[in-house]
Amino acid sequence: MRGVRRHLSFENVLVTVVAFVVLAGGTAFAAQQLGKKTVGAKQLKANSVTTAKIKKNAVTRAKIKNGSVDSGKVLDGSVTNADLNPAGVPFGHVVFSAHGTSSPGFNAFPAVAVIPLDNPTYSQEAGRDDFVSGVLDFSFNSACEPPRIAIAYALLDEANPAEPTGETFVALGEYINEKAVGASNVRIHMSPIAYAGALQPAAAANHTLSLLAVAGCKAGAATASNERPRDSMDG
């Protein structure tokens, strides 16, 4: 022991003690931080959990707080019709669209023309309410003397669209101008007629759409320009 004591200086003892404290303290610190169920919210540095640290599919429905995902958290355009249950959506959506390309002419009012549609037949699902809306464009030339009148009707399952019964009208739009002069273009928006439509069939049903235009002037002519019209079924 005398020999050991001769070689122990204050500096040697101090270094030994410091080394022991660092090793012991370091070991104890690591065990305290990484022990089972010891890492909580207080131990996490702000912004330390990044996207790269989250395991794929680790965040499940049960991990998301109620009401935490609002419209600001949803990417625009990411939710499509395929992601929705139509029966649970309180507002309408387009389920069918038909177009026409003819441009019939009209003279003195009331001139009538049926606008052919490219694909007028569609199928309605059981239990779904369908209503019709659409647009139709008209052109009045400069010789068309007022009043200028244009009326557009959408019909559903009408056997003779040129002579409709009236019970098949499902959408209507109209334009009347008693003072207009010069050439002009008018777009008529057809809105669903209240309580008119194909309502909740017990089984799937096929329907046929028709588009009827009534237009004219006191003198001169008008044209129904229908390059991109649309009859759309809103369910």
The larger pLDDT score, comparing residue 208 to residue 194, is at 208
User: Rg of the Cα trace of the chain?
Assistant: 38
User: What CATH number did the domain enclosing 181 receive?
Assistant: 2.60.120
- Whether 184 maps to a domain, the answer reads yes
- Whether 73 maps to a domain, the answer reads no
- Whether 212 maps to a domain, the answer reads yes
- Whether 22 maps to a domain, the answer reads no
- Whether 188 maps to a domain, the answer reads yes
188 burial type by CB count under 10 A (0-12 exposed, 13-18 middle, 19+ buried): buried
DSSP type of residue 84: S
> Which residues have a Cβ under 8 Å from the Cβ of 22 and sit 6 or more positions away?
none
- Whether 80 maps to a domain, the answer reads no
Measure the CA–CA gap between 157 and 210, rounded to whole angstroms: 8
> Which residues have a Cβ under 8 Å from the Cβ of 213 and sit 6 or more positions away?
104, 106, 112, 113, 114, 115, 136, 138, 150, 151, 152, 153, 224
Please tell me the predicted confidence (pLDDT) of residue 232. 35
The whole domain housing 145 covers 95-234
Tokens of 155: 């019909």
**pLDDT per position as a tens digit, 98-128:** 888 788 888 878 888 998 898 899 999 888 8
Q: What's the domain count of the chain?
A: 1
- Whether 117 maps to a domain, the answer reads yes
Q: What is the mean pLDDT of residues 173-192?
A: 90
- Whether 24 maps to a domain, the answer reads no
**pLDDT per position as a tens digit, 7-52:** 556 566 555 555 555 554 444 555 555 667 777 777 778 888 888 8
- What angle (nearest 5°) sits at the alpha carbon of residue 209, between those of residues 208 and 215? 150
- pTM (predicted TM-score): 0.60
Q: Is it the case that residue 79 has pLDDT exceeding 70?
A: yes
